[in-house]
Amino acid sequence: MAAMKKNESLSNSDNSRRWKRRELGLLILYAIVFYFIVIRRSLHISRDHHSRLHGLRPGWLTKFTHLPNDVSDAQWRNFRGNLPILTFVFGIFALVANTLRAYFDLKARGMSIVWLFISLIYLSYLHGACIIFILAIASLNYLLVKIFARKKYFSLVIWSFNIFFLLCNRVYEGYSFSIIGQQWAYLDNFRGSFRWHICFNFVVLRMISFGYDYHWANHDSRFDQKKHIQRCHVCKSGKTCYQLLQERSVQNDKYALSIYICYLVYAPLYLAGPIISFNAFASQLDVPQNNYSIRDMAHYGLRWVFSLVLMELMTHLVHYNAFAISGLWKQLSPMDVFIIGYGVLNFMWLKFFLIWRFFRFWSLICGIEALENMPRCINNCHNLEDFWKNWHASYNKWLVRYMYIPLGGSRKKLLNVWVIFTFVAIWHDLEWKLLSWAWLTCLFFIPEMILKSATSALQVESALGRFIFRELSAVAGAITITCLMVANLVGYVVGLSSINWLISHFLQKEGLSVLAGMFLTFYVGTKLMFHIDDAKRRRHYSKESGL
């Protein structure tokens, strides 16, 4: 009897694998057809409407394609335009810092002086005389941390101080020197080339990180380093993972003012991140990262160049962002509106991918490893939690460590998401559309969290049960992706005022058929993601088993 059950189980397993292989073939075929239609239609509408779009300029491919380059996104335009000078600065800073470290065998204190000198030169060019504001606020924060770190109400002090300046910086647009006194008003003529209060958002995160890491260093750590090393495959290999660097407190002398200011203004990560905790930064300032060899970094750089070429092709051939900026998408059919919306989100993902990886690459060469901000493609996320873990991942880690856990963690998850996403919206900018995006995201989070709680308690053993559960999960994934598209388009593209237009446009006869096709596409995409996850699990199991 036992042998019969075993044979039946093996037969079911073989049938399941065969079905999954056939299913994967059909899913890939659907994806190929989908992207063929999307790319073909994108090229067509870009060619037909480019004369009416804003933010287009002649590019290096224009003479071949007869299409201008889409530089309508200010953030991408500034980064792309300054890329040559940034690369030059990248090379000089890295050469100077690494040469001094090697020649004088500098450790944390010595390297902090080197990077502080280099970074202040960099900030002087960016912000001119406004570095006075940055250093003044940073010094006040340092003083508060040192005074109140051992107090029970430390969290209230550190958050109140930093949110106060986060809001004031925006409201007063970086202040004027004349508020100090008319004798200082002439300094307003030397405000640099970049608004300091925009960059200061990242400095706020670092000031809070320093405060909490110093606060926790004065308490017994709950982090079990030995157990972590036994479980972590990176640490077992002789390297040091980011979690260990972050959770392991540094010696008290590392919380010095010079290292603190160096951490706040560290040139490679100053403008855009990725965000790194104080503990991780100070540890690597002392002992440079050992996870990336020269060969690994060269490969990382080449992948970045390939991604840049891909972005150049995209912005020359299809003008997704220009359609959004110009408002011309309102004159298009529901199918074309979907394509533009989907294209804008992919453009945003690739833009941030390139910006963050550029600065992370710079930091890696200088011996400081920060978290990867985009570890997974936007088209490979089928639930909200995975999406936020893989979009601005270093910020997500920061929010978990310094907000989510102190607020009560999973015990108060339904309440925490509202606090955290409201802060995220305010941190980005004081705009109603960002608050709308934050609260929409929270609303979409609630059913997902309830569904996850229900499914974690559900034990499915039969083959039919597993099949039904997988199908329901794919449907849930399609709904989640649709919600993500709506939330991000409202927050970053169309604004809250256009949400009624979108709904009415897609509830018409033509729009309903597009909605059905969109849902089917997201269902197919979710099933493809399941296959990718299965392949990763098999590869991980093979590595763990030594096969």
Dump pLDDT digits (tens) for 405-422: 888 887 888 788 899 989
Q: How confident is the model over 113-166, as pLDDT tens digits?
A: 999 999 999 999 999 999 999 999 999 999 999 999 988 899 999 999 999 999
- What's the Rg (C-alpha) of the chain? 26
Q: Which of 489, 345, 378, 343 is nearest to 42 (CA)?
A: 343
Q: Which of 451, 394, 383, 444 is nearest to 418 (CA)?
A: 444
Q: Amino acid identity of 216?
A: W
With a pLDDT cut of 70, the percent of the chain lying above it is 89
Q: Identify the band that residue 10 occupies on the pLDDT scale cut at 50, 70 and 90.
A: very low
User: Which residues share a beta bridge with 70?
Assistant: 56
- Distance between CA 131 and CA 127 in Å, rounded? 6
| Cβ neighbours for 454, distance < 8 A, ≥ 6 positions apart | none
User: Do 526 and 478 form a contact (C-beta atoms < 8 A)?
Assistant: yes
Q: Which of 214, 329, 221 is nearest to 281 (CA)?
A: 214
User: Which residues share a beta bridge with 57?
Assistant: 69
Q: How confident is the model over 381-412, as pLDDT tens digits?
A: 877 778 888 888 999 999 999 999 888 887 88
Provide the H-helix boundaries in 218-293: 225-231, 233-236, 242-247, 257-265, 267-270, 278-286
User: Which residues share a beta bridge with 69?
Assistant: 57
Of 63-72, 230-239, 258-267, 451-460, which one has max mean pLDDT?
258-267
pLDDT at residue 368 tops 50: yes
Q: How high does pLDDT run on average in the chain?
A: 85
**CA 404, chain centre distance (Å):** 17
Calculate the CA dihedral of residues 37, 39, 41, 44 and round it to 10 degrees. -150
pLDDT at residue 220 tops 80: no
Phi, psi of 57 (to 5 degrees): -140, 155
Terminal-residue alpha carbon distance, the chain:
32
User: Do 345 and 378 form a contact (C-beta atoms < 8 A)?
Assistant: yes
pLDDT at residue 30 tops 50: yes
Here the tokens at position 146 are 């040192």
